[in-house]
Amino acid sequence: MNEVILDCLGEACPVPLVKAQNKIAEMNIGDILIVQIDHSCAMKNLPEWARKDGHNVEVEEVDDGEWEVIIEKLK
């Protein structure tokens, strides 16, 4: 099981989403992708996409205006 951290701090929509989609595509099932974001709209569209795509998703607020979206690739 691999764990990959994707630094998207300072990056505006839709860059974090597209970067996460590209990253997930090259990962194996069971791997974990942690996307670091500080753009509040990514906090909405990232989990939404990942859940629709069928992955496990958790959002953690690490600081004021800073989140980690933790995605476990399930398929």
Partner 1 sequence: MENKAEKKVKFFDRVKNNDYYIKWIKSPFTYVAAAVLLAIFQIVTLAATGNPWGVSGVFAYWGAWIYEAVGGTVDKWFYFASPGAQATLDAGFMEHAGTWRNIGIIFGALAATFLASGFKIKKIKSKKQIVAAIIGGLMMGYGARIAAGCNIGALFSGIASLSLSGWVFAVAMFFGAVVGSKLLVKFFM
**Contact residues: partner 1, CB under 8 A:** 9-11, 14-15, 18-19, 22, 38-40, 43-44, 63-66
Q: Is 41 a catalytic residue?
A: no
Residue (16 or 70) nearer to partner 1, CB: 16
Separation of alpha carbons 69 and 33, rounded Å: 8
Residue (40 or 74) nearer to partner 1, CB: 40
Smallest gap from Cβ 11 to partner 1, in A, equals: 6
Give the CA distances from residue 59 to residues 37, 52, 70, in Å, rounded to whole numbers and listed in that order.
10, 15, 6
CA angle 59, 65, 71 (to 5 degrees): 20
Please list the active-site residues: 13
